[in-house]
Structure 1
Amino acid sequence: MEKAFEGKYRDILIQYLEHQDEELLYTCEKLSREAMEERVSPEEIVHLHRSVLELYGKDLPDFVRLSFDVLLEIMVGYGLAYMEHLSLRTAQKELRSEIAQAEDMQKTMMKTEMPEHKGLDFGVISVAARQMSGDYYSFTEEGDKQIGIALADVIGKGIPAAFSISMIKYALAGMTGDDRKPSVVLETLNQVAEENINDNMFITMFYGLYHEDTHLFEYGSAGHELGLYYQHKEQSFSDLYAKGLPLGVDKNAVYRQFDKKIEVGDAIFIMSDGVTETRTADGFIEREELTEIIAAHISLSAEKMVQAIYNQLVKIQNFELHDDFTLICIKRTK
């Protein structure tokens, strides 16, 4: 213990015993901060207090002296717990800082450019339920008038999920030509996931390829949420049906490919389970209720539409997201 601290404590205690000046008590808070900075333990302060009293009053009653034995034992345990608390707080601050840096890195790595094509309108909203998102989406130009659209969701949260998503992104970026057909993409990524992610994690994924010249949308799914197709002529919704095992479950899994002809005014909706598992007072939102919400905003541009749908769904949940929320809309305008 520093001599300067001992002297300050002794002066405050003696002056207070003689004058009971309450202003002196306000200086104790500042002194307690000095004690923490100098790592003076509670039991050391008890010893110091006792020694000052013994010097100040030679006839200190025995019961007062003995009471310090109890106080000292309590302060020993308290001091150890308090030091552990300080250590945990420091570690927690460091961890928060590291997570914030990882979050910034993830946002940079996951960044994707929104396509701009005549006759097609794209909209997307992706909101993480926590700092690190387990959802990943991308738009890629695939050769002559083809656009690749991917949406993946890691079953798992936090940093491990974010790293798994990064692996999928870079594996996907390495595919070219015929490798970008939905069935081939999913089978290739399944092998990558099976070899590289933990057994207690797996990834669902929807991948589609939009042909601008024919307006044919080819797609496949690895256990992902069903997409929705809006047919403008009939003003009706139908599921973009596709089945398949999630990535990382079975390296020999085979994925089927489906297609849909997109007419003027039609729209495609691809989503993560943060959309379909919106929680109402009666449980998860029904598919019919979801399509009604989308239909109410179908006349908007794709970007305004996904934002409006998100606003309404998050309001239903009292503005609390329970899972990462990603919604993609592709709307044919010409």
Structure 2
Amino acid sequence: KCKVSSEYQIEAKSGNCIWVETISNPIFDQNGNIIYIACVSRNITQRKKTEVARRETEERYQLLAENMTDVIHLHTPDPELHFAYVSPSIRITGYEPSELVGKPAIGLFFGPESAEIIRQALLRFLETKRGEVIEYPALMKDGSRRWVETISSPVFDKEGNLIYIANSSRDITSRKRAEEALRESQQQMSDIISFLPEAIMAIDLNGKVMIWNQAMEALTGVLAKDILGKGEYEYSLPFYGYRRPILMDMVLQPHEGWEAEYLGFKREGTAVVGEVFIPTFGPKGSYLLAKATALCDEIGNTMGAIESVRDMTERRAMEQKLERSRTELHVAAEIQRSFIPKTTPDIANFEVAAVTIPAMEVGGDFYDFITLPHGDHGLVIADVAGKSIPAALFMALSRMIIRASAAHQSLATEVLRNANNMIASDATAGMFVTLLFGVLDDEALTLRYANAGHPTPLLFKSRDCSYEEEVACGIALGAKEGASYEEQSIKFGPGDVAVFYTDGVTEAMNPKGELFGIKRLIGAVSKTCQSPAEEIMSRILKEVSAFREDREQNDDITLVVLKASPKAEEHALISVHSRDEEIPRVSQELEGIMSRAGFSGKQILDMQLAVEEAFINIIRHGYHGAYGTILIAMDFEEGSLKVKIEDDAPLFDPTRFQEPDFSAALEERPVGGLGIHLIRSLSDEMRYEYENGKNRLMLIKIKDRASIEPHQEAG
């Protein structure tokens, strides 16, 4: 019997369902009985749709709030900021939402440090009614602290009163740690830049100074505190005295008119490099080498430019001084080279090769050839103590004294004695020279020499390239006044080789610290002693260079190679009886001719055996032991030796015998033929002819044949 309100759906005439709200009121008679029900109905379809939409929005918001990783929380705007709502993501703090709703945030979630930050933010919030972003350390349930970023927004009622503060918070601990690490890194970089020995400055995009390190303070005399933050080319004043662009400005934008002032200006990507001379900077002007490049942030955006400046004034002065010294050294080297013979002399019956290679531009080694008054030739090789210009000057002095002394003395010993007295009386303390002086007689093939402390020459005999050691003696020139010297002599045979050298050859050092040494030098010469003098010298230098590898030459190298020329022609004709006793005479004559012609010891021995075998065959199988005459002609010309053996025994052609079959068993081989095989093997060619009742056998040996080749025969 009271008013009733109800909502329900009905189908309209159009067929659509609509929502209707009906308010029913009872109507009573005088006795209080209900006689009518008065109803008022209205269409509330739009209102119902609005309510559904609002409800769906609230559900979506709640779903979003409860599933976000960010924490959504509402607070009442009281001083303690009580929690009105907390989303489930609050669990990352260790709390359940139910533990916080209704509880004050201050003291529970915010420690003392954070509470002050929050209170200040709340005051601003209440004053401005605008949201803001704050960062603070928040307390976790376990007592630990994590950095939180909170975005706050006001919630007002219909009257505009603040009823809640809505917040979205997220954990930014990792970001804060990264920022702290970045700050530390930037501080470290700032400290490094500040203490770098190179002067460094930097500007931002507005041309204001950001960096001015201690080295820049020392270079310019301007303190960082007086220039940091200043623009308008303030940084150029300490250098030039007026405002102007410098290199780091040219990184940010072109300044073509100013770029030309820099020596060697060039761009390398975002960097520019150049050197400038500023006559007003420093007591006498300064050379400054500068390099500038762009300063970029972590994502590559240009935020300014940085420039390093190096004072090159002392270095340039030193370079100029070095250039003057280099010029002086070059002049000294030219003077020294003028003392070294440009060519080797033409000496009858000798080949001469010589070279000097200074370890520095100016060295102390030298060699010389002097034409003596009586027609002989003087040979000098020397090594002056020290290096560079003092050694070169002492070398020039020593050379002139030796030449002057040799002009008035015929004995090598006297030349050195006089030279030593002159040098010792005038030499600076510690200056001396090891020197060998010899007098070469090109007719007698002799070298008479005296040695003043120099390495002894190496002598190689052409017959077998055997090495003969000379005796060392004598004291260096200039070491002691009044010293005497002994004469020594070398007797050359045709093809013999003498090698004169300085200790730069034997003391050449490889990367392991080993010395080239005398044994390697002897080995190098032994391999080529049958070659011309130039080739012998080249072989020595090649082996020294290969031994040294990439190690720097630490001493001057000087070589003189003297080789007695082999005879171009040799001839001999001997007549002997068919007797074994004649064999030594034939062998001796053959050895003499071949030695003078420059054949090796093995070649001589091979030919001696071949001729001996042919001689015995004639005695045994031609004359059968009877008396007979054998005529032997030996002729060396055009590099080959021909030995013609003639007899009047019965006809016998050794070239018609076939080679023995050495693969057959010994008892199956025919008798004879081994001697002929031996003759063929030991000579380079064998020929035979029979004319006017005489057998003529010719054996040929070629001097420069490198290896045994198949022999040739001609009949």
Q: Please give the range of the TM-score, normalised by the shorter of the 2 chains.
A: 0.7 to 0.9
TM-score, normalised relative to structure 2: 0.38
Using the TM superposition, give the Cα deviation of residue 173 of structure 1 relative to its aligned residue in structure 2, in angstroms. 2.0
Whether contact under 8 Å (1:110, 1:169) holds in the other structure is no
- What residue is the counterpart of 1:248 in the other structure? 478
**Is the contact between residue 190 and residue 248 of structure 1 (CA under 8 Å) also seen in structure 2?**
yes
Q: 1:218 to 1:151 in 2, by over 3 A?
A: same
Q: Which residue does the alignment assign to 1:237? A: 467
Report the Cα distance in structure 1 between the residues aligned to 2:283 and 2:253, rounded to whole angstroms.
25
Shift of 1:155: 1.2
Task: Give the structure 2 partner of residue 39 of structure 1.
Answer: 279
Report the 3-state secondary structure (helix = DSSP H, G, I; strand = E; otherwise coil) of the residue aligned with 1:179: coil
Change (3 A) 1:107 1:286: closer
Question: Could you list the runs of 5+ residues in structure 1 that have no partner in the other structure?
Answer: 46-74
How far 1:331 moved relative to its partner?
0.4
Mapped contact 2:495–2:530 kept (Cα < 8 A): no
- Tell me the equivalent position of 1:111: 341
Are the equivalent residues in 2 in contact too, given 1:112–1:139 (CA < 8 A)?
no
Q: Is the 8 A contact 1:270 1:328 kept in 2?
A: yes
Report what 2:425 is aligned to. 195
* Alpha-carbon distance in 1 for matches of 2:471, 2:394: 26
Q: What amino acid maps onto 1:10 in structure 2?
A: R
Residue equivalent to 2:163: none
Change in Cα spacing, 1:252 to 1:288, as seen in structure 2 (3 Å) is: same
Structure 2 residues not aligned, in runs of 5+: 1-236, 264-273, 286-308, 568-715
Q: CA deviation at 1:28?
A: 6.1
**8 Å CA contact retained: 2:240, 2:281:** no
Equivalent-residue separation in structure 1 for 2:469 and 2:408 (angstroms) = 26
The RMSD of aligned alpha carbons is 3.0
CA distance change for structure 1 residues 23 and 315 in 2, over 3 Å: closer, same or farther? Answer: same
Higher mean C-alpha deviation, range 104-113 or range 196-205:
104-113
Q: Distance in 1 between matches of 2:240 and 2:356?
A: 58
Matches of residues 64-83 of structure 1 in structure 2 within 5 Å? 82-83=312-313
Conserved 8 A contact 1:219-1:259 = yes
CA distance in structure 1 between the partners assigned to 2:395 and 2:407 by the alignment: 22
How does 1:12-91 map onto structure 2 within 5 Å? 12=245, 21-24=252-255, 30-33=260-263, 36-41=276-281, 82-91=312-321
- 1:262/1:38 Cα in 2 relative to 1: closer, same or farther (>3 Å)? same
- Any idea what the Cα deviations from partners look like across 1:108-146, whole Å, max 9, x if unmatched? 133354111332100112111110021110111223441
Matched, 1:228 2:458: yes
Match of 2:401 in 1: 171
AA matched with 1:39: P
Q: CA shift at 1:219, angstroms? A: 1.1
1:141 aligns with 2:381: no
Task: Pick the structure with more strand per residue.
Answer: 2
- State how far apart, in whole Å, the 1-side matches of 2:495 and 2:474 are: 29
Q: What do residues 208-244 of structure 1 show as CA deviations (whole Å, max 9, x unaligned)?
A: 1111121121111111112101112342112222311
- Residue 414 of structure 2, aligned match among 179, 184, 190: 184
Shift of 1:35: 8.6
Cα 1:128–1:176 shift into 2, 3 Å: closer
Tell me the number of residue pairs that the alignment of Structure 1 and Structure 2 aligns: 293
Indicate the structure with greater helix content: 1
Runs of 4+ in 1 over 6 A off after TM superposition: 42-45
Partners of 1:302 and 1:331 within 8 A in 2 = yes
For the pair 1:99 / 2:339, whether they are aligned, the reply is: no
Instruction: Give the number of the structure whose alpha-carbon radius of gyration is greater.
Output: 2
| Partner SS state of residue 12, structure 1 | coil
CA drift of 1:321 comes to 1.7
Whole-angstrom distance in 1 between the partners of 2:455 and 2:258: 61
**Are positions 1:322 and 2:520 aligned together?**
no
1:291 aligns with 2:531: no
Aligned to 1:23, the other structure's residue is in SS state: coil
CA spacing shift, 1:201–1:27, aligned 2, 3 Å: farther
| TM-score of the pair, normalised by structure 1 | 0.78
Superposition pairs of residues 262-281 of structure 1, within 5 angstroms:
262-280=492-510, 281=512
In the alignment, which of 300, 304, 324 is matched to residue 535 of structure 2? 304
CA distance in 1, matches of 2:240, 2:549: 55
Share of identical aligned residues, percent?
Answer: 22
